[in-house]
């Protein structure tokens, strides 16, 4: 079950850090960014925070679960979701302990993309069956 957009909006409202929080849709679910760092995931209308040791100490008893099949366990947040101050403090702490994201790879120029496609086409052209010569 994919996360509902209204749940994502609710979480952003609860965090209450305008201009610093962003959610981006990814495969029907959402990633929560704080100051450009992914601090949490929204999956199946649940909030999963990155599993960082300083957060474990802050939370005390932690409910760990995989946000999606095959994922590493994250901290599933339930009680703090209703407490805006606690949620905001938790995510600010997470952002403080996460590294600054690496800049994205530079996009290829439009010409180089065409070259790559052209190379693929020429490869298939060499593997095509030879035509019979025309009769005159």
pLDDT digits (tens, 9 = 90+) for 30-74: 999 999 999 999 999 999 999 999 999 888 888 999 999 999 999
CA distance 28 to 7: 13
Write down the pTM of the prediction. 0.73
pLDDT of amino acid 66:
95
Specify whether the CB–CB gap between 38 and 99 falls below 8 A: no
pLDDT digits (tens, 9 = 90+) for 74-130: 999 998 899 999 999 999 999 999 988 888 766 555 554 544 555 555 444 555 556
Specify whether the CB–CB gap between 63 and 92 falls below 8 A: no
12 beta partners: none
What domains appear along the chain, each with residue ranges and CATH number?
5-97 (3.30.1460.30)
CA distance 101 to 31: 14
Instruction: Find the farthest-apart pair of alpha carbons in the chain and give their distance in angstroms, rounded.
Output: 88
How far is residue 57 from each of residues 30, 51, 128, measured CA to CA in Å?
Answer: 26, 11, 63
pLDDT of amino acid 95:
95
């Amino acid at each position: 079950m994919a996360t509902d957009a209204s749940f994502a909006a609710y979480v952003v409202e609860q965090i209450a850090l305008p201009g610093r929080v962003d959610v981006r849709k990814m495969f029907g679910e959402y990633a929560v960014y704080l100051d450009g760092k992914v601090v949490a995931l929204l999956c199946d209308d649940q909030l999963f925070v990155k599993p960082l040791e300083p957060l474990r100490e802050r939370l005390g008893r932690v409910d760990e679960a995989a946000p999606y099949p095959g994922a590493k366990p994250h901290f599933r947040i339930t009680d703090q979701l209703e407490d805006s101050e606690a949620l905001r403090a938790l995510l600010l702490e997470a952002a403080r302990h996460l590294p600054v994201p690496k800049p994205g790879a530079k996009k290829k120029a439009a010409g180089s993309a065409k070259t790559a496609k052209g190379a693929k086409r020429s490869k298939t052209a060499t593997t095509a069956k030879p035509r019979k010569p025309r009769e005159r």
